Amino acid sequence: MHDKLAHKRWTRRFVFLSLLLLVVAGLLVFSVDPLQHYRRATLYHPLWGNERYYNPGFVKHYDYDCIIIGTSMVENFIPSEVGRRLSARVLLAPLSGGSPYEEHVLLNTALRTGKVKAVIWGLDLSEFGRGMKRLRHGPGSFPFYLYDGNPFNDYQYLMNIDVLLKDCWDALAANLPGGKANRALDVDSVHFWGDQFRFSRETTLRNWQEPQREHRALLETNRPRLDSMESDFDANVIPLVERHPEVQYYFFHPPYSILYWINADKYRLGTFLEFKRYVFSRTRGLQNVKVFDFQDIGDITLNLDNYKDYSHYSPDVSKFIIDAISKNQYLVTDDNAEEKISRIESQVRRFTDSLDAVESTESPNAQQSQSHGQPKRQDAEDLDR
């Protein structure tokens, strides 16, 4: 009998102490609130980390009226510069490798605040058509509890051991006397990586040539269907546009290098171009939508010095995009939609012919010495006719 009573007392104490520790941990997370889930940080400088976890706090609690969303294609936009161009208060909230569904969830969270008057949305073609509710990193990888506004599932944040031991600690340590502040504290540069890479023809070709065989093999076995891409667009983009007619949407097709289209040729080029047609036709009757297309601008896409790999362009190109949007340049219209698509097809054909000619005329030794037959330098005007 005595042993049973002692066991019950021990069990009760264990449960009580466990609950107490959980409450203390929850109070600590709530007080520090490192992801700014409940409030904007005012007593300390917030840190920055995984975009999928940190973006919700920024879109809910920061002051802005224009939001930029997209994949890594928008990460080198500088909000203050965009704001000056568009006369707006701008928040940059990208999701690197983000699926349209993840971008939908993020933008929907921002729209619920009532602050958004304009949206700049980079439509990354390769992310469409791979599942209407696809999560980039698989099931369980996206923290919906930070986005949905439901307080009853906040225990996933308050009782989260990673938030407690990593995010809370990092935030406190960085703000203690002697703590090292870093550029992640600056919302104007938290996503910016344009100063970490070399943008050049040589770098672009080097980063393209080795993985291209594997990339093409992947494209051949994982070809998105046009109807899947259209369904993805209809499920994740159009509903937000139609539910918020008071918000101005600026969609843009980011200017991948010509090498991107070479990779897509034979496998996805036709599908991609048909999808671009669909985006324009689906939005052309919507008064709050403008579509900009930078993918046929030879001065950018044919100049490999603008890139670090086959798709990621330099900060200067990011500035060009925003400047063009502010001036309504490169807007897709009934008069130029087909011309812009035909221009891409022509550029791909000419560049492919140039590449094939080099590979067929160079000797094996010459090919080895010239990085396996990299295409000869061609001026943009030579290919963009």
What gap in Å lies between CA 163 and CA 169, rounded to an integer? 8
Predicted pLDDT of residue 43: 81
What gap in Å lies between CA 310 and CA 304, rounded to an integer? 8
Q: What is the DSSP string of 95-116?
A: -TT--HHHHHHHHHHHHHTT--
Helical axes 226-236 vs 100-112, angle rounded to 10°: 10
Residue 286 lies in a domain: yes
CB 209 within 8 A of CB 371: yes
Residue 18 lies in a domain: no
Predicted pLDDT of residue 366: 38
Domain range for 312 is 33-176+186-337
Residue 11 lies in a domain: no
158 three-class SS: helix
What gap in Å lies between CA 207 and CA 228, rounded to an integer? 30
Predicted pLDDT of residue 185: 57
pLDDT in tens, 185-222: 577 888 999 999 999 999 999 888 765 655 555 555 56
Number of domains in the chain: 1
What gap in Å lies between CA 78 and CA 124, rounded to an integer? 19
Predicted pLDDT of residue 179: 61
CB 293 within 8 A of CB 324: no
Residue 107 lies in a domain: yes
- Domain holding 269: CATH number? 3.40.50.1110
Residue 225 lies in a domain: yes
121 three-class SS: strand
Residue 123 lies in a domain: yes
Predicted pLDDT of residue 377: 43
Residue 296 lies in a domain: yes
What gap in Å lies between CA 76 and CA 190, rounded to an integer? 10
Predicted pLDDT of residue 21: 73
Judged on CB neighbours under 10 Å (0-12, 13-18, 19+), 238 is middle
Residue 384 lies in a domain: no
Which segments of the chain have a pLDDT < 70? Answer: 1-8, 10, 14-18, 178-185, 210-222, 266, 355-385
What gap in Å lies between CA 240 and CA 249, rounded to an integer? 10
pTM of this prediction?
0.87
294 three-class SS: coil
